[in-house]
């Protein structure tokens, strides 16, 4: 048999005067049984919970035979042991109509106390791991774990805690589905930084300094950048388009990429605006890309994503980095393009039968000029680009009427996608 005083633990758990360890347990003042002022189920529950917690703590502090005797006597001694006090202060003092219920609680307490005292003794008497495995030294952690499971305040027979596994956020789900559509067409995923320079967010995308097109982007600038040249100043990217240039700097044509990511704008939050939102960008560059390729690719992608019955429509627009530029609409997948739902007007498409989904266009030759040295000579290559808001698409797809719900983290809302 191993020595009754397990190594590592017993000495350090005793205080300087050699007092039994349980007096040092987390509870500084030793537990005492208090009188019950009311005998309701709740009061009984609270009183016994307090007792069980003290019992568990004191049992875990037992490190050797001497500790155990003190522990046993404190709880079991006929004269003034905790159980005797429980009998006096809880059961005997109880009014007749509460006796039955208090009696049951006291019985449970008795059982638990006996079990803990026996458990502590079993542990002390357990054959040593060191004896069962000669030459093996039990570590303090192993001993602690063994002690904890055997007599500690953990009841290993209770069922475990169920941790919910969670679910994909609707914006992430939408993004992944859209990205997948383009991956199937041979696009690869590219990403870039959220804190961006003025050069990548604006200048290289053909927004010259002070050009009014910058005003449409409600930019959030990083403070304290004035000392730097304008193109080096930092900001929160207002769109995922800077990743077009960043990727073209690294990879030579032909190129087909899809770019998911977060972007920021100085928009006050409301039902359709959030200062942080998500975009999905695309770029295809090769030696002979035409507007027909743009239309065919996006029409196919929308049919894959929304269903084969949607139609697409392209309307002229302006972006500094594409020429010509367009906005693409899809026929309303909620009302089927009729603008009405039964006798009601269709709200998502504002009764037009069309929903604006993205901006797109042919890459402006001025953009290629910035990456000309990496094989993007504007006389030799052409390409198309597009960008869409993932949150907006998720709102429409799932019939959510407030973008704020996506970012408040209320699990009652998010659980609907589990
Ligand atoms: N970056 C634009 C925005 O955030 C969206 C966009 C439009 C991206 C046209 C493109 C594009 O790549 O070709 O408003």
260-294 pLDDT per residue, tens:
999 999 999 999 999 999 999 999 999 999 999 99
- Distance (Å, whole) CA 84 – CA 167: 53
Nearest CA to ligand 1 atom 3: 239
pLDDT beyond 80 at 389 = yes
Burial of 9 (0-12, 13-18, 19+ CB in 10 A): middle
Window from 142-146, 147-151, 206-210, 335-339 with minimum mean pLDDT: 147-151
pLDDT beyond 50 at 6 = no
Q: What is the pTM of this model?
A: 0.65
Nearest CA to ligand 1 atom 12: 386
pLDDT beyond 80 at 95 = yes
pLDDT over 90 percentage in the chain: 71
- Distance (Å, whole) CA 58 – CA 53: 9
Window from 209-218, 247-256, 318-327, 369-378 with minimum mean pLDDT: 209-218
CATH architecture of 170-417: 2-Layer Sandwich (3.30)
The predicted structure's pLDDT at residue 10: 33
Nearest CA to ligand 1 atom 7: 359
- Kindly give the number of the ligand 1 atom that is closest to the alpha carbon of 384: 13
The predicted structure's pLDDT at residue 139: 67
List where CATH 3.30.930.10 sits in the chain: 170-417
Query: What is the tens place of the pLDDT at every residue in 177-186?
Result: 999 999 999 9
pLDDT over 70 percentage in the chain: 85
pLDDT beyond 50 at 17 = no
Average pLDDT over residues 129-137: 58
Mean predicted lDDT score pLDDT of the chain: 88
Q: β-strands 255-264, 188-189: how paired? A: parallel
pLDDT beyond 90 at 22 = no
Nearest CA to ligand 1 atom 4: 239
Average pLDDT over residues 39-67: 90
Structure tokens at 273: 């605006």
User: 279: CA distance to ligand 1 center in Å?
Assistant: 9
The predicted structure's pLDDT at residue 144: 67
Ligand 1 pocket test target in 241, 256, 297 with most atoms within 8 Å of CB: 241
* SS3 labels along 299-359: HHHHHHHHCCCCCEEEEEEEECCEEEEEEEEEECCCCCCCCEECCEECCCCCCCCEEEEEE
Q: Residues near ligand 1 with C-beta < 6 Å?
A: 239, 241, 281, 319, 322, 359-361, 385-387
- Kindly give the number of the ligand 1 atom that is closest to the alpha carbon of 263: 4
- Tell me how crowded residue 62 is: count the other CB atoms within 10 A of its CB: 28
Average pLDDT over residues 83-111: 93
In 97-180, beta strands by DSSP E: none
């Amino acid at each position: 048999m191993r020595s009754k005083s397990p190594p590592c633990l017993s000495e350090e758990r005793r205080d300087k005067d050699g007092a039994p360890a349980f007096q040092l347990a987390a509870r500084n003042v030793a537990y005492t049984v208090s009188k019950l002022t009311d005998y309701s189920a709740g009061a009984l529950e609270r009183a016994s919970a307090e007792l069980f917690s003290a019992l568990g703590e004191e049992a875990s502090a037992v490190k050797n035979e001497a500790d155990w005797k003190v522990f046993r006597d404190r709880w079991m001694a006929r004269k003034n042991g905790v159980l005797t006090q429980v009998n006096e202060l809880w059961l005997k003092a109880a009014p007749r109509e509460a006796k039955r219920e208090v009696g049951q609680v006291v019985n449970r307490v008795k059982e638990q106390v006996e079990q803990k005292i026996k458990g502590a003794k079993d542990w002390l008497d357990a054959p040593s791991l060191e004896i069962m495995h000669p030459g093996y030294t039990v570590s303090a952690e192993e001993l602690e774990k063994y002690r904890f499971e055997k007599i500690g305040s953990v009841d290993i027979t209770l069922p475990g805690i169920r941790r919910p596994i969670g679910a994909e956020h609707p914006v992430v789900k939408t993004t992944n589905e859209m990205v997948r559509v383009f991956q199937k067409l041979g696009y690869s995923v590219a990403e870039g930084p959220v804190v961006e320079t003025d050069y990548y967010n604006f200048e290289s995308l053909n927004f010259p300094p002070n050009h009014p097109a910058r005003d449409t982007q409600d930019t959030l600038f990083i403070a304290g950048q004035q000392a730097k040249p304008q193109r080096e100043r930092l900001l929160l990217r207002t769109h995922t388009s800077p990743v077009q240039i960043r990727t073209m700097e690294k990879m030579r044509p032909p190129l087909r990429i899809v770019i998911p990511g977060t972007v920021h704008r100085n928009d006050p939050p409301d039902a359709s605006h959030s200062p942080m939102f998500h975009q999905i960008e695309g770029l295809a560059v090769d030696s002979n890309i035409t507007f027909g390729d743009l239309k065919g690719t996006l029409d196919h992608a929308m049919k894959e994503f929304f269903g084969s019955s949607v139609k697409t429509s392209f309307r002229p627009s302006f972006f500094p980095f594409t020429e010509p530029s367009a906005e693409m609409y899809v026929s309303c997948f909620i009302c089927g393009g009729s603008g009405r739902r039964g006798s009601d007007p269709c709200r998502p498409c504002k009764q037009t039968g069309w929903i604006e989904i993205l901006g797109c266009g042919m890459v402006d030759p001025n953009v290629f000029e910035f990456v000309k040295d990496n094989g993007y000579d504007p006389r030799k290559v052409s390409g198309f680009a597009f960008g869409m808001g993932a949150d907006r698409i998720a709102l429409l797809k799932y019939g959510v009427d407030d973008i704020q719900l996506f970012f408040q983290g209320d699990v009652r809302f998010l659980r609907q996608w589990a």
